[in-house]
Amino acid sequence: MSASEKRNIVDVKQGKDVRIGDFVNLYGCEIGDDSMIGPFVEIQRGAVIGRRCKIQSHSFICTGVAIGDDVFIGHGVVFSNDKHPRSSKDGRLINSQDDWTLLETKVGAGASIGNNATILPGIEIGAGAVIGAGAVVTKSVPAGKTVLGPPMRFK
């Protein structure tokens, strides 16, 4: 298997010196200079990754997520973008963005998100905030604060 067969990279705006692992799905997103994307990561259309970010393996960054500079995303971190996900609406399969409400999520510069954290939609994680491993983040986190959980609680 060649290197290009191990990656699905389509319509991605990449900065300088971006390092990308194998078995990734990146499409329609933006990745800033000097960032590192680990193996088995998916970054969806419209997501923005800042400069000098480190995205560890098996993480999922969906449409509507904007990550600032110098952010660490641990292994297996999952972002979501819809508070009421479903497969169908009015008896038909959901096929387009018109069928659901996108809720954007922002992660401030220098934040750190631990392994296997789940970030629910429509929140803001402030600059320098720390999200503990396994936390389920259900509301915005102020700059510099630490969140542990589940259940979500400030340290």
Tens digits of residue pLDDT in 101-131: 899 999 999 999 999 999 999 999 999 999 9
Average pLDDT over residues 137-153: 94
Within a domain: 112: yes
Residue 1: pLDDT over 70: no
Task: Give domain status of residue 90, yes or no.
Answer: no
User: If you average pLDDT over every residue of the chain, what do you get?
Assistant: 93
pTM of the model: 0.92
Whichever domain contains 146, its CATH number is 2.160.10.10
Q: Is the pLDDT of residue 147 over 70?
A: yes
Percent of the chain with pLDDT over 90: 78
* Tokens found for residue 92: 């038909």
Q: Are 120 and 80 in contact (CB under 8 A)?
A: yes
Return the sign of the alpha-carbon dihedral for residues 153, 129, 23, 82. positive
Q: Which residue has the tokens 């999520």?
A: 105
Reported as a single tens digit per residue, the pLDDT across 33-49 is 999 999 999 999 999 99
Query: Given the structure tokens 């990550």, which residue do they identify?
Result: 67
- Spatial separation of the C-alpha atoms in residues 119 and 141, rounded to whole Å: 11
Tally of domains within the chain: 1
Residues 121, 103: Cα–Cα separation, whole Å: 5
